[in-house]
Structure 1
Amino acid sequence: MFVFVAMVAVAAAVGALAASGASSEYAGLEQPSWAPPSWLFSPVWTILYAMIAIAGFLVWRRHGVSVAVGAWVAQLALNAAWTPLFFGAGRYGLAFAEIVLLWLVIGVTVTLFWRISRVAAVLMLPYWAWVTFAAALNLAIWRLNA
């Protein structure tokens, strides 16, 4: 379990480093009326990252290193890459393209997990839903700030 928690912690740390000052940057962006306040992101991601780690561990414990675990690693790497693109580089369009790819890889991961552990797949669903929302928010911010 430690390895999965550590991997998620690294992804979270990459995001946290890239997002230093993100709260003020986020507040300075033109946003849609439905955009959440910046304080909401940290607690949501804390819960989601815990669920992502547990899901990966459950699949690994049942099936070992596999295509499903590879998909889990791929989505985690894409997750870590989004924040530097959006906040670090201010590349909202590129970040949107990246989050669409992330969304697709999460879908593949959920599908592969479902075949191995339905619990693990279900643990990934709130994350997939949040990334769906985040992609819509990314698109709206990109369009409003172009």
Structure 2
Amino acid sequence: MTALPLRHHPVRVLFCFLAAVVVTAAVGSLFSISAGDEYLGLHRPSWAPPAWSFGPVWTVLYGMIAWSGWLAWRHGASRGELALFGVQLVLNAAWTPLFFGLGWYWAAFAEIVVLWLAIVAVMVVFRRRGRTAALLLLPYLGWVSFAAALTVSIAVLN
């Protein structure tokens, strides 16, 4: 695959990456804002974080995700690599409707496993573009790992 041309202004492209993660976050928030009471009503493991903590954590992670994509783009990421980045954003957005919107906890767990694999794949291809682009996704991978454990725990308990 050939790299995208760098003729696009870097600040405009950064805003495109930020917009992509904002759309991802917005899709999730459509289902999670109204689900606060539902989450509190679920049987959760003792180590589950409070509902209010998810927003701040995701805000930081989404910023890091956008920055990672932008850095990879700046270092010549191919269309295929950027498409993979987009796929993991779609997978990210899909978890919340499955979990909160439909209450399909086991489907949400299966989906988050696929998301985890997609994040790893993005980290591998972005590593070729720059170490920082890959490392910026490490906290995201960690949080999704934690979220997967929480998801399966909730599926078992409910």
2:70 paired residue among 49, 57, 67: 57
For these two proteins, the number of residue pairs brought into alignment is 145
Highest CA radius of gyration, 1 or 2? 2
1:82 paired residue among 95, 111, 116: 95
- 1:73 maps onto 2:96 in alignment: no
User: Quick check: 63-72 or 129-138, which moved more?
Assistant: 63-72
CA deviation after TM superposition for structure 1 residue 64, in Å: 4.3
Q: Which has the higher helix share?
A: 1
User: Quick check: 57-66 or 93-102, which moved more?
Assistant: 57-66
* Residue matched to 2:51: 38
Query: Which one-letter code corresponds to 2:98 in the other structure?
Result: L
1:100 paired residue among 113, 118, 121: 113
* Residue matched to 2:27: 14
Query: Which one-letter code corresponds to 2:64 in the other structure?
Result: M
- 1:116 maps onto 2:129 in alignment: yes
Contact residue 24 and residue 90 of structure 2 kept, 8 A: yes
Q: Deviations over 1:24-44 (max 9, x none)?
A: 111000000110000100000
Q: TM-score, normalised by structure 1?
A: 0.97
Quote the Cα distance in structure 1 between the aligned partners of 2:114 and 2:148: 10
Return 5+ residue gaps in structure 2 as ranges. Answer: 1-13
CA deviation after TM superposition for structure 1 residue 61, in Å: 1.6
Quote the Cα distance in structure 1 between the aligned partners of 2:133 and 2:75: 11
Contact residue 77 and residue 126 of structure 2 kept, 8 A: no
Return 5+ residue gaps in structure 1 as ranges. Answer: none
Q: Percent identity?
A: 55
